[in-house]
Amino acid sequence: MENYKTLAFLLCLTAFAFTQQSQTISQWRGINRDGIYQEKNLLKVWPDAGPKLLWLNEEIGHGYSSPVVTSKQLFINGEIDSVSHLFAFDLKGKLIWKSPNGAEFFGTGYSANFPGSRSAPTVYNDLVYVCSGMGRIACFEAASGKEVWALDMVGNLGGKLNMFGYSESLLVDEKNVYCYPGGAESNVVALDKFTGKVIWTSKALSDPVSFCSPLMVRLPERNVLVTLSREYMLGLDAGNGELLWSHKEDSVKLEGEHCNTPIYADGFIYSVSADNNGNGAYKLELAPDGKMVKELWRNVNVKNAMGGIMKIEGKLYCTSDDKKLKCLDPETGLVVDSLNNMRGSIIFADGHLYCYTDNGYVNLIKLSGSKMEVVSKFKIEKGTKEHFAHPVIANGILYIRHGNALMAYEIR
Over residues 61-75, the pLDDT tens digits come to 999 999 999 999 999
Residue 12 has pLDDT above 80, yes or no: no
Residue 236 has pLDDT above 70, yes or no: yes
Residue 251 has pLDDT above 80, yes or no: no
Of 51 and 259, more confident: 51
Q: What is the DSSP string of 225-272?
A: EEEEBSSEEEEEETTT--EEEEEE-S---TT----SPPEEETTEEEEE
Taking residues 330-335, report their average pLDDT. 97
Query: At residue 11, what are phi and psi to the nearest 5 degrees?
Result: -65, -40
Of 108 and 293, more confident: 293
Query: At residue 216, what are phi and psi to the nearest 5 degrees?
Result: -105, 120
Percent of the chain with pLDDT over 70: 92
Of 321 and 129, more confident: 129
Taking residues 358-381, report their average pLDDT. 96
What's residue 276's pLDDT? 59
Domain 25-410: top CATH class? mainly beta
Residue 167 has pLDDT above 70, yes or no: yes
DSSP 3-state assignment of 111? Answer: helix
What's residue 20's pLDDT? 38
Note the pLDDT tens digit of each residue in 64-103. 999 999 999 999 999 999 999 999 999 999 999 999 999 9
What's residue 11's pLDDT? 39
Burial track 117-155 (b if 16+ CB lie within 10 A, e otherwise): bbbbbbbbeebbbbbbbbbbbbbbebeebeeebbbbbbe
Of 323 and 278, more confident: 323
CA distance 398 to 172: 24
- Domain positions in the chain are 25-410
CA distance 30 to 183: 29
